[in-house]
Homo-oligomer: A and B are copies of this chain.
Amino acid sequence: MLRKISFCDLNCDLGESFGAYAMGNDESIMPYISSANIACGFHAGDPLVMAKTIQLALQHGVSIGAHPGFPDLAGFGRRNMQMSPAELHAAILYQAGALKSMTEAFGGTLQHVKPHGALYNTAAVNFEVAKTIAEAVKKLDGSLILVCPAHSEMEHAAKSIDLPVASEVFADRAYNDDGTLVSRNIPGAVIHDPAELNERVLRFIKEQVVVSISGKLIPIQADTICLHGDNSMALQFVKNLSLIFQKEGVVLKAMNKR
């Protein structure tokens, strides 16, 4: 039975600039989203960028999440790296912990943690890595929400230790028939056409399905929709989604505000 969604969270990766290096379009995008995943200085971001992005999110009433990644600025956290469970556990505590303290210093509350890039992809399919992350998040604060792909090992790991989870659907990424993401190396993996994006999101809102790259309908249970801030179309995409949500009567609401 199809059920139309009445409220929706929209999350976006922000705070990815570093020193003199600008990335993304944070000020323009922030007004249109409900949750911000803020980089923590390991794969992107720096303390000053973090402070500014936190304040920007608070100004717009956007809920704040930590976006920890591998310690690999040169690779933007998109290269896989071998880390021992103890190293990874500490790296999550450090990154998400820094963002948590900074958010609280500016009067906010940390809502969620969402791993970035290669760490996200590995944790999605590797239970041990996922469990290490989930345990670190829980140790930091058991009410934090772990954002992860629906039906992933990350979701299983979080549930196995009673850590709150929010599963997400990607608005701008193509899906395989089995519900996994099409690899970025394959043409069509990232969606750049606004009309296609709109249709995909509408379909998800109305029927909670996505159409796979081969045309198959895949049912997706998701608590939040993710848009990539570094997609060149990001700003137009969030503006379009805003109009769709308005027209369809979907209320933009952060995952911790339900």
Contacts and interface: CB of A to CB of B under 8 A. Distances in A.
Interface stretch (A26-34, A92-100, A125-133, A207-215): A92-100
Interface in A65-101: 71-76, 78-83, 86-87, 89-91, 93-98, 100-101
B74 A118 contact: no
A72 B82 CA distance: 11
Interface in A2-16: none
A189 interface: no
A58 B9 CA distance: 40
Contact of A73 (B19, B23, B44, B118): B19
Contacts of A23: 20-21
Interface residues of A, number: 43
A72 B81 contact: yes
A197 interface: no
Interface stretch (A46-54, A150-158, A163-171): A46-54
Interface string A96-117: 1110111001100000000000
A140 interface: yes
Contacts of A86: 48, 51
A216 interface: no
A41 interface: yes
Given A47-B87, A71-B72, A95-B98, 20 more contacts: A19-B73, A20-B75, A20-B76, A46-B90, A47-B90, A47-B91, A47-B93, A48-B86, A48-B90, A48-B91, A51-B89, A73-B73, A82-B118, A93-B101, A93-B102, A94-B102, A96-B101, A97-B100, A97-B105, A101-B140
A71 B71 CA distance: 10
A206 interface: no
Nearest to A86: B48
Best-surrounded residue of A101, A139, A140 (most CB of chain B within 10 A): A101
B81 A93 contact: no
A71 B78 CA distance: 14
Given A81-B79, A101-B101, A94 B50 contact: yes
